[in-house]
Structure 1
Amino acid sequence: MIKIEFNNKTNREFALVVQNLTRRKRAEERIERHTVEGRSGQIIDRLGTFESYEREVTFANFEKDKVRDINKWLSGNGILRTSVDPDGFFYADVIDVMERNPLGCCRNSMKVTFLVEPFFYLERGRHPIKTDKSISIYNLGTIYSEPVIKVHGSGNGKLSINNKIINLSNIENYVTIDSKLKITHKDNLPKGKDMEGEYPIFEEGRNYISFSGGITKLEIVPYWREL
């Protein structure tokens, strides 16, 4: 039987049985099309970003007294896991819950629509990589990743990823660089003004990381992912 987990709770906790689940698909790449006078066809600019897509789940509900708890569970955003997509997870928002259609005595059905971010994140990519020296790491996904890097040290330092330099100033014990959210912070206080350079990504294949100055060590959560 298919199992759905959303924000650390599963359908089985609510006596819900999964009747149908639409499958994971490759997200649509964002592109720009250009027509050139006198030239056949079109020129395509690939923007390097992708569209979210919808996944629908149909549940059979066996216990009416759990309806309030079910509605609370199936709301908002968070991490979505399914038993048909092992070893990873999706970031998703609940965007629609279609209320119940009777299935006979004591049962109802309900359809839930998740808006899923384009990538499937590998569980292995959530494990921190700690280092106090230059290293190389291999991207286990099939597309570039947007890591979270906790930089330890004091004062000013340089972080190099694939020869792209990030200058950090006024480091006090540590600072966190979140490439997915495009923020730099310490204890949720903004530190963006103390960072100079682009937010780092890990390309497909091997990536080379080094640091100097007041930086003493790194904690890297790579967030490997697939399309």
Structure 2
Amino acid sequence: MLSFVFNGKDSFKDYGIFIEKRPNVPSPKRRVSYISIPGRNSSLRYDEETYEDITLSVECAVIGNIQSKIDDIKAWLIGSGESDLIFSFQSDKKYIAQVVNSIDFEVILKITSRFVIIFNCRPFKYSVMNEVINITSGTGTSVLNRGTVKSRPLVKVYCSGNGAFVINNKEVKLIGIEKPYVVIDSELEEAYFVESGILSNANNYMSGEFPVLDVGNNIVTFNGGVSKLEITPNWRWL
């Protein structure tokens, strides 16, 4: 029986909802613009190297006294906002999704109802087990990206004073670090300190592009005042 987990709740275990038909999963559309130029063959292409969101339509059914569950089901699905979505048929991957339709229940029998959930999802699937990679040697560590697209990691850099780390020959420099560590968040494209749960901007303490992890092997080094890296890789799949 197919089911899903959304915002930490299991559709079948918590609400008796199961998926009647495995949903079609479209590939995200790559954003590419085409410009026609008079007198020139073909078109000029501008590739943004970004992707559109995807939409998943999930046909569901629930067995039992639906009247006693409707309010709770709607509150869960609609009230969760953008949350992690994990299907039982691919439990090691997750989407970041939000329900975008009203939930209309069609009563088939007294104890069975059907309905459709439409999820708007970010373009990529992410690894459920987003394990932190600890790097304590600055001389060169290989990090393998088994995903199908570049990932945008979160890097916690333990640094005193000035230092730098390098991923695939692209250097990020850190200047005048006086906190225990600084966080370089490539997804948000922000650098910040965390102290007693409070974030403070650290963009002025770094220079260089926010790092990415290419598909395949990535070589990571560090130097200067950097003593350790903790990389949350955020592996992604199309």
Q: Distance in 2 between matches of 1:114 and 1:170?
A: 45
Using the TM superposition, give the Cα deviation of residue 21 of structure 1 relative to its aligned residue in structure 2, in angstroms: 4.3
Length-normalised TM-score, structure 2: 0.88
2:183 alignment partner in structure 1: 176
Using the TM superposition, give the Cα deviation of residue 220 of structure 1 relative to its aligned residue in structure 2, in angstroms: 0.6
1:97 and 1:111 in contact (8 A); partners too: no
1:21 and 1:56 in contact (8 A); partners too: no
Partner secondary structure for residue 184 of structure 2: strand
Alignment of 1:185 onto 2:210: no
Length-normalised TM-score, structure 1: 0.92
2:96 alignment partner in structure 1: 91
Which residue among 206, 210, 220 is the counterpart of 2:231? 220
1:104 alignment partner in structure 2: 109
1:198 alignment partner in structure 2: 209
Any gaps of 5 or more consecutive residues in structure 1? none
Using the TM superposition, give the Cα deviation of residue 97 of structure 1 relative to its aligned residue in structure 2, in angstroms: 2.8
Using the TM superposition, give the Cα deviation of residue 152 of structure 1 relative to its aligned residue in structure 2, in angstroms: 0.9
1:71 alignment partner in structure 2: 74
Alignment of 1:133 onto 2:140: no
2:42 alignment partner in structure 1: 41
Runs of 4+ displaced beyond 3 Å = none
Q: Distance in 1 between matches of 2:68 and 2:201?
A: 45
Using the TM superposition, give the Cα deviation of residue 89 of structure 1 relative to its aligned residue in structure 2, in angstroms: 1.0
1:122 alignment partner in structure 2: 127
Q: Distance in 2 between matches of 1:145 and 1:173?
A: 26
Q: Distance in 1 between matches of 2:137 and 2:206?
A: 21
Q: Distance in 2 between matches of 1:100 and 1:170?
A: 59
Number of residue pairs matched by the alignment? 226
1:4 and 1:81 in contact (8 A); partners too: yes
Q: Distance in 2 between matches of 1:121 and 1:146?
A: 11
Partner secondary structure for residue 96 of structure 1: coil
Alignment of 1:150 onto 2:156: yes
Q: Distance in 1 between matches of 2:45 and 2:91?
A: 34
Q: 1:213 to 1:89 in 2, by over 3 A?
A: same
2:166 alignment partner in structure 1: 160
Using the TM superposition, give the Cα deviation of residue 142 of structure 1 relative to its aligned residue in structure 2, in angstroms: 1.2
Partner secondary structure for residue 109 of structure 2: coil
**Identical pairs, percent:** 30
Any gaps of 5 or more consecutive residues in structure 2? none
Letter in 2 for 1:24: V
My pick for the range that moved more, 29-38 or 102-111, is 102-111
